[in-house]
Amino acid sequence: MSIKTMLYSRTVVSNELNFTKMCFVVNCLKRFKSSQQWLSRQRADPYVEKAKIYNYRCRSAFKLLEMNEKTNILRPGLTVIDLGASPGSWTQVAVQKTNADGADPTKPKGTVLSIDKLQIFPIEGATIMNNMDFSTIEAHDKVVATLDGRKVDIVMSDMAPSATGVKELDKDRIIGLCYMALRFAALVTKIDGNLLFKVWDGKEVPILEMDLARFYKNIKILKPNASRTDSSEKFILARGFKGIQRPLENGRWG
């Protein structure tokens, strides 16, 4: 190899390394800026402060509290399953509203099951199923055994996939989670039971609503004030489970 070629090759490699370093620095700066924005938003968020005051694990508790205030889906004596429940703020609300901890001896005592692949620290009044994928047969069997065959009044979920930064991909992934939650709910919910879960606004949401209408009598979109104003999230409440009639030829329920 000639000296000229060697020098040219070294220059190319050096430029590539410098470009790679520059990209790394830019990405780090972006992440730093994003982290700083997140911290600033957290400090300015009244619901973050309220969560600390009322001992909720995160601000999402107030979304469920607000939705329940309007719909009364959580009541003493009901059986509730919280999917993707970590860190557990929705479970905390469910325990309070269903009296699962027996705090009020004058009211019926409910049951709350919380399932997540991640760790959920103990919550008094709730049965915690850590390291559990709710979409598996094992999870279904464990739920059935825990409830001793009893059906569920409401399945709820505030879960979302880890963000990729690609909005359309993230929206498709959360829709996938919604269908998994629907399948789970169809297997464990009693007739006239309810399903509540989060979606991100997108073109697939109307299709999801139509599919839900095959299994539930009423479909309602909710956007609590506790949801951030710049967020595309909303919640779908499906009420009045009709039951499973029969599987169709394409494998979907009818």
* Phi, psi dihedral angles at 222 (to 5 degrees): -125, 140
122 pLDDT band, cuts 50/70/90, is: very high
Rounded-to-10 torsion of CA 211, 215, 218, 221: -40
- Whole-angstrom Cα distance, residue 127 to residue 169? 33
What pLDDT sits at residue 25?
46
Most confident among 18-27, 94-103, 135-144 (mean pLDDT): 94-103
The residue type of 125 is G
What pLDDT sits at residue 9?
47
Rounded-to-10 torsion of CA 108, 59, 162, 193: 30
Q: Mean pLDDT across the stretch 191-220?
A: 96
What pLDDT sits at residue 1?
54
123 pLDDT band, cuts 50/70/90, is: very high
User: Which residues share a beta bridge with 220?
Assistant: 237
- Whole-angstrom Cα distance, residue 29 to residue 182? 40
Given the residues 52, 107, 198, 234, the one annotated as active site: 198
What pLDDT sits at residue 244?
86
Q: Over the stretch 158-175, which tens digit does the pLDDT of each residue have?
A: 999 888 888 888 899 999
- Whole-angstrom Cα distance, residue 113 to residue 100? 10
pTM (two decimals): 0.80
Whether residue 198 lies in the annotated active site: yes
29 pLDDT band, cuts 50/70/90, is: very low
In angstroms, the Cα distances linking 164 to 98, 118, 173, 174, 249 are 36, 19, 10, 12, 34
What pLDDT sits at residue 246?
59
- Whole-angstrom Cα distance, residue 210 to residue 219? 9
What pLDDT sits at residue 230?
80
- Pairing of the two strands 111-115 and 79-83: parallel
Q: Mean pLDDT across the stretch 123-151?
A: 96
Ranking 35-44, 109-118, 199-208, 229-238 by mean pLDDT, the lowest is: 35-44
252 pLDDT band, cuts 50/70/90, is: very low
Positive/negative CA dihedral, 34, 236, 138, 147: positive
Residue 206's CB: how many other CB atoms inside 10 A? 9
- The continuous run of DSSP H or E covering 197 comes out as strand 189-200
